[in-house]
Structure formats: C-alpha cells, structure tokens
Amino acid sequence: MKKTLFALAAMALAIPAFAQESAKPEMTEAQKTMYFLGGALYSQVQSFDFTAEEQEYITKGFEAAVKKKSISLDPAKYNQEIQKTLEAKHKKKVDAVKAEGKAFIASETKAHKKRKPQTLKSGAVYIQVEKGKGKAPKETDVVKVHYHGTFPNGKVFDSSVERKQPAEFPLNGVIPCWTEGVQKMKVGGKAILLCPSETAYGDRQVGPIPGGSTLKFEVELLEIVPPAPEETAAPEKK
C-alpha cells in the first residue's frame, strides 16, 4: 500500500503544470477522471515542499516502476528512510507555522492590552470585548454562538457569521481553547480567543487548517441551550 501511494505521488509531482490547467473538452470522462486524480494526488503531496531535485528523483523512481525496471535498493531500509524524510519535512513546516503563531499571539495581546488579555491554563488567550449580562456556561452545557475564525494572516477558515447561521455544540466536545475560553463568557458577551495549536488541532492537518496552526476566533455567546425535557415513561396497562 505504501509503495503504491508513493508511486502515485511521484506521478502527480511529475505533472504539476498539467494538473493546474483546465481539463480539455476532447477528453473522455474516463480520461478526465484520471486527470483529476493527478491533480488530487499532487495537492496531497505538495505540502511536503519537495525541492526540484527531490521531485526529479521521485519522478525517475516512478518511471522506472512503470517500465518495470528493477531498482537495486533495499525496500525495508528505504521505506524507513521515506518515513523519516516525510516526518522531518512535516516537523520543519509545523515548527515554522508554530513560530508564526507565537509571534501573532504576542502581537495581538499587545494590541489589546487595554482589554487585559488573560492567558488561560491551557495556554489559550482570552480577550473580553463585551462583558455580557447573562449566565456563564459550564463545561457540560450546550451553547449557541456566533463565531468568526481566522488564521494569523487574516484569512477566514470558518465563520457562522458569514453563513448567517449560529452554531450549537456541547462545550466538552470541542477544542480545549473553546472549552476553557467560552466558560469565561456570559450570555450576550463577546470575546476574542487566541488558540495556539496545542489548544486547537495540534500538529495534524484538519480540513483547511494546516498542522501547527494558531487560530483566532471572535465569539459571541448567544444562549446556553436548555437541556431537552426527559421523556416520561407511559404507564403500563393493567
């Protein structure tokens, strides 16, 4: 399975320019499917930031496999080398993203100094924007909120505000930054949550969120959702 994956990845790397072009009308549906596969594979491996030289040798390896040429390399050894290489590249990228996030939190904390930012136990930073007058939720509560989530560069990755649809979820079922930060809010209040990756999604990529990402949320607590009434059992017939 690993060998197949890396062979397909090499094919994708060999045709990055082709994969970015529009599919030509004269292609059959089957050809368009393969065309799309090439682009999809490339999008999966490009995050490793292979150099031009690395791409060249990946492509050579793929071409040799297609032509059924024997490669006199120890599979056990080089499967391990592949794993180590990809892990090192991933760590390097994640560390750079974390460093940017750390600088961003320091900058945001300074910019909101008058609002007295609080660094929470988890490492997240809570900045109160509007106090609110209602109750504060507990960890076990379900809350209704509006939120606007952005990366340090300002790019939006998720926003109930833009969807014009509030979100509801149990506080103990979300990222630690939210679980801890929203408990400090009161209904009607607004706050900014600055979430280091350790309090968000960690080193793994989740959807559009790269591993190691620091996230910024602007949150409005609309409601603590009351629990649904328990159903009363019907009396037994005699």
Tell me the CATH number at 200.
Answer: 3.10.50.40
Q: Tell me how crowded residue 83 is: count the other CB atoms within 10 A of its CB.
A: 11
pLDDT one digit per residue (tens) for the chain, 238 residues: 333 334 434 444 444 444 445 566 688 999 989 888 877 766 666 768 888 898 888 878 878 887 888 778 888 899 999 899 989 999 999 999 999 999 999 999 999 999 999 999 999 999 999 999 989 999 999 999 999 999 999 999 999 999 999 999 999 999 999 999 999 999 999 999 999 999 999 999 898 999 999 999 999 999 999 987 764 455 555 4
Per-residue model confidence (pLDDT) at position 113: 96
Q: Nearest to residue 54, comparing CAs of 86, 77, 79?
A: 86
My answer on whether 128 and 217 are in the same domain is yes
In a domain, 28, yes or no: yes
Residue 88's contacts (CB-CB under 8 Å, 6 or more residues apart) are none
Q: DSSP assignment of 86-104, as one string?
A: HHHHHHHHHHHHHHHHHHH
- What span, in angstroms and rounded, lies between the C-alpha atoms of 201 and 215? 9
Q: What is the SS3 assignment for 156?
A: strand
* Domain total in the chain: 2
Per-residue model confidence (pLDDT) at position 235: 52
In a domain, 107, yes or no: no
pTM, 2 dp: 0.75
Between 75-111 and 2-14, two packed helices, what is the crossing angle to 10 degrees? 70
In a domain, 88, yes or no: no
My answer on whether 33 and 121 are in the same domain is no
My answer on whether 49 and 118 are in the same domain is no
Structure confidence by residue, pLDDT tens digits, 170-214: 999 999 999 999 999 999 999 999 999 999 999 998 989 999 999
In a domain, 33, yes or no: yes
- What span, in angstroms and rounded, lies between the C-alpha atoms of 51 and 36? 23
Domain end, chosen from 15, 45, 72, is at: 72
My answer on whether 56 and 131 are in the same domain is no
In a domain, 120, yes or no: yes
My answer on whether 18 and 120 are in the same domain is no
Q: Tell me how crowded residue 62 is: count the other CB atoms within 10 A of its CB.
A: 19
My answer on whether 64 and 142 are in the same domain is no
In a domain, 205, yes or no: yes
In a domain, 194, yes or no: yes
Residues 149/159, Cβ–Cβ less than 8 Å:
yes
In a domain, 99, yes or no: no
Q: Nearest to residue 9, comparing CAs of 45, 47, 35?
A: 45
DSSP label of 26: T
My answer on whether 217 and 121 are in the same domain is yes
Domain end, chosen from 72, 95, 128, is at: 72
Which domain covers residue 26, as residue numbers? Answer: 2-72
My answer on whether 67 and 139 are in the same domain is no
Q: DSSP assignment of 53-85, as one string?
A: HHHHHHHHHHHHHHTT----S-HHHHHHHHHHH
- What span, in angstroms and rounded, lies between the C-alpha atoms of 199 and 177? 5
Domain end, chosen from 40, 72, 104, is at: 72
